Structure 1
Amino acid sequence: MPNFSTQKRLAACVLDVGESRVWINPDPDVAGEIADSITREDVKSQIEAGNIKAKPQKGNSRARYRARAAKRAYGHKKGPGRRKGAKGSRSPRKEIWMTKIRALRRRLKELREGGEIDRHTYRMLYRKAKGGEYRSTAHLNAYIKAKGLTRSD
């Protein structure tokens, strides 16, 4: 079988693919015809004749990734041996704070709009939340209940 390096290069350019994706018909009957194709026009005619084709693009299967992601979603494969990076780099302190403060402020708004606390109590609790007094909404609710801050109509 002759060396088709020039034809491969030209075909790759015409087909707009890499040289590794160019397929040349191995049939010895057409080998001479392909070897004589030395211009782009000749290569284009060989492509039209079906003697030169672009192989399909190869992709990587995501099945293994999906299976792993599904396990991680319910907490598997997340042990200490899998971790790289400090606690604060895996979940930054600021992001944890943002999540917590948003939840607390949302809860305070619900309580105020629902008429469970007055605006003065709301302001006081809002400032305490900003100061980092409450660990979570459950902690906030427990504080309100313990101090008897809800409106008793």
Structure 2
Amino acid sequence: MPINLKDKKRLASRVTGVGIHRIKFDTDHLDDIADAITRENIRSLITANTIQIKPFTGTSRGRAQTKLDQRHKRGTTQGSKQGRKGARVGKKEVYVAKVRSLRRLLKIAKDRKDLTNPEFWTLYKKVGGNTVRNKAHLRTLMDEIKTKRKD
């Protein structure tokens, strides 16, 4: 009759701090494992190599690596590109990259005390609303705000 060692496996995983699937019992000493009822017993069985811990297996990067290699193999020089710009790099990706860089610029200006809090937020909202075209445009808007403040 087979012995149910599910609880022992759970206890061993708790003691070692690894998952249940990484616990492996030595089939020759199943009676010893069945007799072990305390954490101390489990620890002694681990040192005796009756209970073994399988090595951690992560997600294989093999397929991802082959995809990367394929992508780099294809010609991306001028003349080899097909499809319009928006087909290769999406509008949203472009927008997100632009907004992040502009917000970074705004944050630096605020930390340097170039902008006051209300001024910062007016520009921040303009950036989020896609009113600001690029960094140069943002700088001109910041300069306009500074000149207004001086007047």
Q: 3-state SS of the aligned residue for 2:52?
A: strand
Report the TM-score when normalising by structure 1: 0.50
Percent identical:
32
Q: CA deviation at 1:93?
A: 8.1
Q: How many residues align?
A: 93
Q: CA deviation at 1:90?
A: 3.4
Q: CA deviation at 1:36?
A: 0.4
- Equivalent residues of 1:6, 1:38 under 8 A apart: no
Higher Rg: 1
Task: Give the whole-Å Cα distance in 2 for the aligned partners of 1:93 and 1:44.
Answer: 52
The alignment yields a C-alpha RMSD, in angstroms, of 3.2
**1:17-56 alignment to 2 at 5 Å?**
17-27=18-28, 30-56=29-55
Q: Does 1:5 align with 2:11?
A: no
**Structure 1 pair 93/50, CA: closer, same or farther in 2 (3 Å)?**
closer
Q: Runs of 5+ in structure 2 lacking a partner?
A: 76-80, 102-135, 138-151
Q: Does 1:58 align with 2:57?
A: yes
Report the TM-score when normalising by structure 2: 0.51
Runs of 4+ in 1 over 4 A off after TM superposition: none
User: CA-to-partner distance for each residue in 1:87-124, whole Å, 9 max, x for gaps?
Assistant: 311333864xx8xxxxxxxxxxxxxxxxxxxxxxxxxx
Task: Give the whole-Å Cα distance in 2 for the aligned partners of 1:91 and 1:25.
Answer: 57
Q: Runs of 5+ in structure 1 lacking a partner?
A: 99-129, 132-153
